[in-house]
Structure 1
Amino acid sequence: MQSKPTTIKEIAKILNISPSSVSRGLHDHPSIGAVTRDKIKQLAKSLNYEPNKAAILFQKGKTYTIGVILPELSEHFFSIAISAIEDEAIKKNYTVIFAQSHDRYEQEVKLVEKMKNQRVDGLLVSISKDTSNFDHFETLNSFNIPVVFFDRIPPFKNVHYVACSLETATVKAVTYLLRKGHRSIGMINGPNTLYASDERKDGYKLAITSNRLKFDPSLILNCDLTEQGTIDAAEKFLNHKRKPTAIVAFNDYVALFLIKYLKKLDIIHNFDIVSYANLPIIGYLDHSPIASVEQYPYLQGQKATNILLDLIHSPNVKHQAYYNTIVDADLIINDVRG
């Protein structure tokens, strides 16, 4: 059975000196004579003494730990972002704690509380699809725990965030479909609670009106990002008086749900589909989105982590200005027909 770690108190008892003297001796404090310092260090070494890092970090007021809350760790986008977060954190000797909300607001609230209780120095967050109340993040201010949002961000500017230019990306996506001759373009958007859904809608509308076409709001349908929600939206489009010939899907997962359903009905060839996230798997499908928006998850995770570390080491910055960082998105064409 492994013995308990040696403590400063035990070293002090053996040498018949105070624990504070042992501590000062181990740190070469000038108030402790050279002979006593040597005795302290030799005994500590013979007893395999290891400093209590937790206690030292507690005294410094830092744990050198950052928390990360994501909707789903299994999603390829977030797995890439995680790699960037870990890479940047390790460079600065930080440990990372990951947690997933499973796209549920109630779970997200609980995780924020747990991260606070774990005494993380800062928090990186991509919010759940149900999050519309942000009070649980406001409570972190009183504990001096900075928060940086990325990808899925709150709908206001007075927070630190890194996000992709989704409105601009959507303009590119819809314009691409218009140039291919489509005039009835549907959009399966995300929940109304997500700011990213508004950005996609604004980009869609801008692309349509910029090409002197009439904007039809009935061609934009919101869904809960599940397979059944995608099927429900697809059925509405199939029964729409202006049945779309092309569909913009909220992300590649929604696109995959849509493709699966249209293949089942044997009408997949009647539609061109554009999506977001640019998952590697779509390049191996028989029927894949003809284009997908690349949102650069590694770059987003990298920038968000560096901003958070800056806030941790410069606590006054977060009260003076907010980091609002936008990453340019690109439309990646997968359609060999051009």
Structure 2
Amino acid sequence: MKELVTIKAIARQLGVSPSTVSRALQDHPRISLHTREAVHTLARQLNYFPSTTARNLKSGKTGIIAVVLPEIRENFFSEIINGIEELAFDRGYTVALYQSHDKVEREERIFTGLASQRVDGILVSVAKETQRFGHIQSVIDRQIPVVLLDRIPPGIAAHRVGCDMERGAYEATKWLAGRGYKRIALLNGPIALVASEDRYRGYVKALLEENLPVENALIKRVDLTTPDITEKMNQLLQSATRPDAVLAFNDYVALDAMRACRARHLRINTDIGFVSFANLPLTAYMDPPPLASVEQHPFKMGVTAVEILLATLADEGEESDFQTIMMAPELVVSEAALHIA
């Protein structure tokens, strides 16, 4: 294996001290122009690369941002990471990606490791089953900046970036009511997720304004797995007062729920309408797609989270107010809906 070139090796060949080489590589004005040029020329010839480890020890920074997400196979979270990486890479940071796979024990182990690795900052969207947050507070107590992203837990003093899900659910439910739907069901997410409660509040507010019934029988919580979604959708369909429309937690939930309806020979968006969240590209390949989907702007969410984190790092530990930035949702109506009377 070829030996790595060091500052000491360059110093030996030029007959100068290692500290002189180090300063010359940084173009320190106290080093003569002749010496600086000689050092840079030899460094290029020897393919010298500075030691990031040594530089990081000196600066106290690692140049690494950790990102903890539930599942990157989901298009929503992959778009978030795309936004994060684009800006982080441009600013000279490396992104270390971790997946909790929606398991709280795995999430806690990840944070334990991050606390000892001393990454510069952490962006996190919590697992669906996480209801205790001591592992997140622990890294904050170690002065590691944290930005809470999309799935934002309560009670933690940190920066927050998400989308206004209450407003999204409100506008989606109002839109369905405006198209004549009278019995609108809600296939909501796990109770541990704040976003589930946000959706519920927006849904109820819209129903009350439209003088439509708010019935417990029309509200189901799912654990975001296909078997549970199928079971809960079948419960709705077996009800004596079957819904004529469904507001689904996201496009994946809508897809599984729509499959359950087809199994009962119901025509999607004719016998029962669907509106969901996320506006994922996959909906373009669904026949038919949901009538509409709430765009949550995941790419922009990722970029904004990195901007806040880097600004926090630039403050070098100075106290600052925590920011809460909520993207405005956008109800995107499908082409199929435009042709339905």
**Structure 2-normalised TM-score?**
0.89
Aligned partner letter, 2:141: S
Does the 8 A contact of 1:68 with 1:96 survive in 2? yes
Mark the CA change 1:13 to 1:151 in structure 2 (over 3 Å): closer, same or farther.
same
Alpha-carbon distance, 1:71 to partner: 1.1
Distance in 2 of aligned mates of 1:162 and 1:146: 14
Mark the CA change 1:46 to 1:248 in structure 2 (over 3 Å): closer, same or farther.
closer
Partner residue in 2 for 1:302 = 303
Does the 8 A contact of 1:85 with 1:302 survive in 2? yes
2:204 counterpart SS class: helix
Partner residue in 2 for 1:186 = 185
Partner residue in 2 for 1:320 = 320
- Percentage of pairs with the same residue: 38
Does the 8 A contact of 1:152 with 1:194 survive in 2? yes
Alpha-carbon distance, 1:93 to partner: 1.4
Equivalent positions of 1:83-122 (< 5 A) are 83-122=82-121
**Structure 1-normalised TM-score?**
0.90
Partner residue in 1 for 2:285 = 284
| Residues 90-99 or 40-49, more deviating | 40-49
Does the 8 A contact of 1:259 with 1:287 survive in 2? no
Aligned partner letter, 2:111: V
Alpha-carbon distance, 1:19 to partner: 4.0
| Residues 65-74 or 191-200, more deviating | 65-74
Aligned partner letter, 2:294: V
Mark the CA change 1:38 to 1:84 in structure 2 (over 3 Å): closer, same or farther.
closer
Partner residue in 2 for 1:200 = 199
Distance in 2 of aligned mates of 1:99 and 1:150: 14
Partner residue in 1 for 2:236 = 237
Distance in 2 of aligned mates of 1:159 and 1:72: 22
- The number of aligned residues is 336
Aligned partner letter, 2:308: I
Alpha-carbon distance, 1:27 to partner: 4.3
Alpha-carbon distance, 1:314 to partner: 1.3
1:261 aligns with 2:260: yes
| Residues 259-268 or 40-49, more deviating | 40-49
Alpha-carbon distance, 1:107 to partner: 1.4
1:337 aligns with 2:336: no
Does the 8 A contact of 1:259 with 1:268 survive in 2? no
Aligned partner letter, 1:337: I
Distance in 2 of aligned mates of 1:162 and 1:50: 37
Aligned partner letter, 2:147: V
Equivalent positions of 1:64-143 (< 5 A) are 64-143=63-142
Alpha-carbon distance, 1:130 to partner: 0.8
Mark the CA change 1:36 to 1:234 in structure 2 (over 3 Å): closer, same or farther.
closer
Distance in 2 of aligned mates of 1:332 and 1:276: 10
Distance in 1 of aligned mates of 2:189 and 2:288: 22
Mark the CA change 1:325 to 1:14 in structure 2 (over 3 Å): closer, same or farther.
same
- Contiguous gaps of at least 5 residues in structure 1: none
- Contiguous gaps of at least 5 residues in structure 2: none
| Residues 155-164 or 244-253, more deviating | 155-164
Does the 8 A contact of 1:259 with 1:288 survive in 2? no
1:299 counterpart SS class: helix
Alpha-carbon distance, 1:281 to partner: 2.1
Aligned partner letter, 2:265: D
Mark the CA change 1:192 to 1:12 in structure 2 (over 3 Å): closer, same or farther.
same
Alpha-carbon distance, 1:166 to partner: 0.7
| Residues 148-157 or 249-258, more deviating | 148-157
Superimposed CA distance per residue, residues 96-148 of structure 1 (whole angstroms, 9 cap, x where no aligned partner): 11121111111111222333344321111111111111111111123321111
CA RMSD in angstroms, aligned pairs only:
2.4
1:275 counterpart SS class: strand
2:199 counterpart SS class: helix
2:118 counterpart SS class: coil
Mark the CA change 1:222 to 1:24 in structure 2 (over 3 Å): closer, same or farther.
same
1:186 counterpart SS class: strand
